[in-house]
Structure 1
Amino acid sequence: MTTDKTGAPTTVTAEADRFTIGVEGQTVGFAAFTDRDGQRVFTHTEVDGEFEGRGLATILVGEALEQTRSAGKRIVPVCALVANYVKKHDEYADIVDPAEG
């Protein structure tokens, strides 16, 4: 189990078109995506304002990318937050495709 910067346990859940992150039983953020031709296109990531600064977006994106790799899909980081994450984490470089302008 992963905890945020306050020590609160977090839960990341895969849904049909997004991954959500929950803290203390409350869904507080999501990373939206679209699957196409073996790619998972991440379009938007958001965490509720009152939960910012706790590292939740980083936890959410990290878990979403791990599950994407496990599913055998390639990552297309349209979302700026996902793009920044993959730039800092070389372990995903082999499965990242450029976002088309």
Structure 2
Amino acid sequence: MTEQPASTSPEDAQVEVVDNPDRHRFDIRVGGKRVGFSMYRDVDDITDAPQRIFFHTVIGDEFGGQGLASTLTRDALAQTTAAGRRIVPICPYVEKWVSRHDDIEGHVDAVLPAHLDAVR
């Protein structure tokens, strides 16, 4: 992560979540600078439906406690379901977020051993 100026915060800069498929992650940017990401792997051969496995989420230390992980997760999962993929939450943060948001429940699949193998 690159160091951010102290004045850059979600309150005074635009926050956006962008899919970065070449790097298999969603980036969250504040004022155009990447401050975190959520890694994923797309799989089409484990179940009958296309899935996206979320396995690692990071927010830079200087941006912690500002709700950015929640924003990142909400937008990444919304983009995933809009793309017709089901969600597999291996990442502990994503798993916890999903458990607190009933509206996403119908789009989530249980983690299987094959999902764990897919991200090793």
**TM-based fold match above 0.5:** yes
Q: Gapped runs of 5+ residues in structure 1?
A: none
Provide the C-alpha distance between the structure 1 equivalents of 2:112 and 2:63, rounded to a whole number of angstroms: 31
Aligned pair 1:13/2:18, yes or no? yes
Partner in structure 2 of residue 95 of structure 1: 107
Partner in structure 2 of residue 34 of structure 1: 41
After the TM superposition, which parts of structure 1 deviate over 2 Å for at least 4 consecutive aligned residues? 6-9
Provide the C-alpha distance between the structure 2 equivalents of 1:98 and 1:8, rounded to a whole number of angstroms: 36
Provide the C-alpha distance between the structure 1 equivalents of 2:13 and 2:69, rounded to a whole number of angstroms: 14
SS at match of 2:16: strand
Tell me by how many angstroms 1:24 deviates.
1.2
Provide the C-alpha distance between the structure 2 equivalents of 1:7 and 1:97, rounded to a whole number of angstroms: 37
Corresponding letter in the other structure for 2:13: A
RMSD between aligned alpha carbons?
1.4
Corresponding letter in the other structure for 1:34: R
Partner in structure 2 of residue 64 of structure 1: 76
Give a deviation string over 1:39-94, Cα, whole Å, max 9, x none: 00001000000110110000000000000010000000000110011101111111
Partner in structure 2 of residue 24 of structure 1: 31
If each structure's strand is expressed as a fraction of its own residues, which one has the higher value?
A: 1
Identical-residue share of aligned pairs (%): 42
TM-score when scaled to structure 2? 0.77
Alignment of 1:68-83 (within 5 A): 68-83=80-95
Tell me by how many angstroms 1:99 deviates.
1.4
Provide the C-alpha distance between the structure 2 equivalents of 1:26 and 1:54, rounded to a whole number of angstroms: 16
Q: How many matched pairs?
A: 98
Q: Gapped runs of 5+ residues in structure 2?
A: 1-8, 45-49, 114-120
